[in-house]
Chain A
Amino acid sequence: DAGITQSPRHKVTETGTPVTLRCHQTENHRYMYWYRQDPGHGLRLIHYSYGVKDTDKGEVSDGYSVSRSKTEDFLLTLESATSSQTSVYFCAISESVGSSPLHFGNGTRLTVT
């Protein structure tokens, strides 16, 4: 299994508070991704990174920001959490974009009350 660690695994937070989720990989893959998974919507891309300090938006990026200061770490921040951001968040990595498979972390279940 790919070495991907997400933390925390579960978090409950209140509306309006900032939240940061962390993804750490030991595979030295260039590409890292954040997805959210909600019933009926499958996996939707929030942001991705194609290298240190190189990031771009996905299809559902509003309300989220990311940072990648090291190859192995990709952080997802909810600046001011809302109830609509209650979801399961998956980090993924890949060796290249588009033509190689994604390897997913175990997910973070976030509840915003």
Chain B
Amino acid sequence: GENVEQHPSTLSVQEGDSAVIKCTYSDSASNYFPWYKQELGKRPQLIIDIRSNVGEKKDQRIAVTLNKTAKHFSLHITETQPEDSAVYFCAASRGAQKLVFGQGTRLTINP
């Protein structure tokens, strides 16, 4: 089955700098890759997703890139702000298979 690995497990950046979180997946047939943000004590919420027919997707300060050949996808956050501090989860799935989540990255934005 699918296996998703996420790195780094913790990330600390200065406010205003960029943050990058990377995930690798094992199933080359995976075609759906969402990213979730979970603030402390809250539920995970979808922030952006990408499908395998697209190489990059942007939404304001966040973007996701997908490299199908290397089987990895990344979350990019530019001009980071204190409210970006949270745990971020990537996930992958194919067809009618269930989502498999990465282990999560705790992002801290330092003022």
Residues of A within 8 A of B (CB): 33, 40-45, 48, 58, 90, 96-99, 101-107
| B51 contact set on A, CB distance < 8 A | 99
| Inter-chain contact B98/A97, CB cutoff 8 Å | yes
- Can you report 15 residue pairs joining A to B where beta carbons are below 8 Å apart? A40-B103, A41-B103, A42-B6, A42-B104, A43-B44, A45-B98, A98-B95, A99-B31, A99-B51, A99-B96, A102-B34, A102-B36, A102-B44, A104-B43, A107-B43
Name which residue of chain B comes closest to A4, CB basis.
B43
Name which residue of chain A comes closest to B49, CB basis.
A101
Query: Given the known A-B contacts A43-B44, A90-B43, are A99 and B103 also in contact in the complex, defined by CB atoms under 8 Å?
Result: no
Residues of B within 8 A of A (CB): 6, 31-32, 34, 36, 42-46, 49, 51, 89, 93-99, 101-104
Interface centre among A96, A104, A106 (most CB of B within 10 A): A104
